[in-house]
Amino acid sequence: MKLNDIQRVYFIGIGGIGMSALARYFKVLEKEVAGYDKTKTPLTEEISALGVTITYEDSLDDFPESFRAKENTLIVYTPAVSMEHKQLKYFKENGYLVLKRSAVLGLITRDTYCFAVAGTHGKTTTSSILAHLLKETNTPFTAFLGGISEDFNSNFWFGGNTYSVVEADEYDRSFLQLVPDVACITSMDADHLDIYGTPSELKKAFVEFVGKIKPKGSLVVRNGLPLKGLTYGIEDNSDYCIRNLKIVDGVYVFDVETPNLTLKKVRFNKPGKHNLLNGLAAFSMALQIGSSPEELANALATFKGVRRRFSYQIKTEDFVFIDDYAHHPKEIEAVYEAISEMHPNKKNLVIFQPHLFTRTKDFGDEFARSLTRFNSILLLDIYPAREKPIEGITAKWLMDKIPNPSKKIIAKKEILNEIKSQNPEVLITLGAGDIGLEIKELSKNLAHEK
């Protein structure tokens, strides 16, 4: 069956950030779209508002009657869903076309000029910046993003299908379904060891992904990674290099050297050198299709950001509240460095919700080292997502590893009172779990207090 022949698409796990982007895409194509998710969230509410029927019960009676017709119906599922899910089992056992999200993304983008951003950190921000650059340079493209772009107020953009922008997700080897024209790899730090077993197996998967690039395509890679491609970096020997970096009124100002020219006094307003590198990666990718360097540089200066990626919730002279999706020790370190750079010598408090028992177990010592750098640490219980508990791996286990004595385990309902009690100058909330659902109310309460 060709995707053009599809009339109905049912998503199992429609509330996921990647799944909901695909749901939006098929809705734009005027297909009948419906789905299941276990929890109602602001994202599922947004999808429902588009005319998508969503059920929150795993029942064979709870999907629309029209989806019982197998012909021209596509079932899409996320690997986060159990194989014992009743609806998924029904569709698989009854001859429906059932595909993983990554396979569908591969089919959609195969006939486009595909930009794919891979890496254990930075995928969402880099792909969101790239989408912004392409839009500002009037490029006809569709983007499937792993976060809510503040420029589009969405995780999806449809502005034509000549080009596509996708995150090449290494989890479950999903990125091996893609065949990119321009690929980028931002990082290859160990992660998802529940899937890969060892860091070396993860690196092999990245090498395999590079092998998927089309014959006349190109690879843009962070300088220092063990891959051959066009490199990018800061004050080094990269093909695309940032030089003369300064901070002027809280904004980065710098020069960009490319193989062909140098651009002076480029501006970028997202804090953190990790974000600056993401911006340079996106800029380097966009150059591969002949976009105007000057127009791209101007567009870099107007990038607003991605929700929950070093997102300022409150920013006053006396108090700063930053929320970030960081859920890996390297990402926490990057957030700390950005805070030290932009808000030096201010008393800070971090609230961290660990994500996944396996990740907490695999990187317990690294989490402890990255968290202990903050002045004070509050830990929430581990967010399980798709996992079952691992005996002995708890927030208390992680807290005991942190040498900083200013540390405490709290429940979500205690967050506001703890913040008031400690009265930090800089507050940071971190994690990829449901801590993100607390931010809106927390911001409102803290703004009222301050």
Q: Over the stretch 224-237, which tens digit does the pLDDT of each residue have? A: 999 999 999 999 99
pLDDT of residue 250: 84
What gap in Å lies between CA 159 and CA 145, rounded to an integer? 14
Nearest of 173, 207, 166 to residue 191 by alpha carbon: 173
What gap in Å lies between CA 114 and CA 430, rounded to an integer? 31
Q: Are residues 367 and 273 in the same domain?
A: no
For residues 6 and 73, the answer to whether their CB atoms sit within 8 Å is: yes
- What CATH number does residue 252 fall under? 3.40.1190.10
Q: Are residues 188 and 325 in the same domain?
A: no
**Dihedral of CA 35/39/43/46: which sign?**
positive
305 inside domain: no
- What CATH number does residue 37 fall under? 3.40.50.720
Helix, strand, coil shares of the chain, percent, nearest 5, are 35, 25, 40
Q: Over the stretch 23-66, which tens digit does the pLDDT of each residue have? A: 999 999 999 999 999 889 889 999 999 999 999 999 888 888 89
306 inside domain: no
Task: Tell me: pLDDT of 120 over 90.
Answer: no
What is the average pLDDT across 425-431?
Answer: 97
**Going by DSSP bridges, is the β-strand pair 8-12/73-77 parallel, antiparallel, or unpaired?**
parallel
What's the domain range around 366?
311-449
Q: Are residues 136 and 231 in the same domain?
A: yes
Q: Are residues 354 and 441 in the same domain?
A: yes
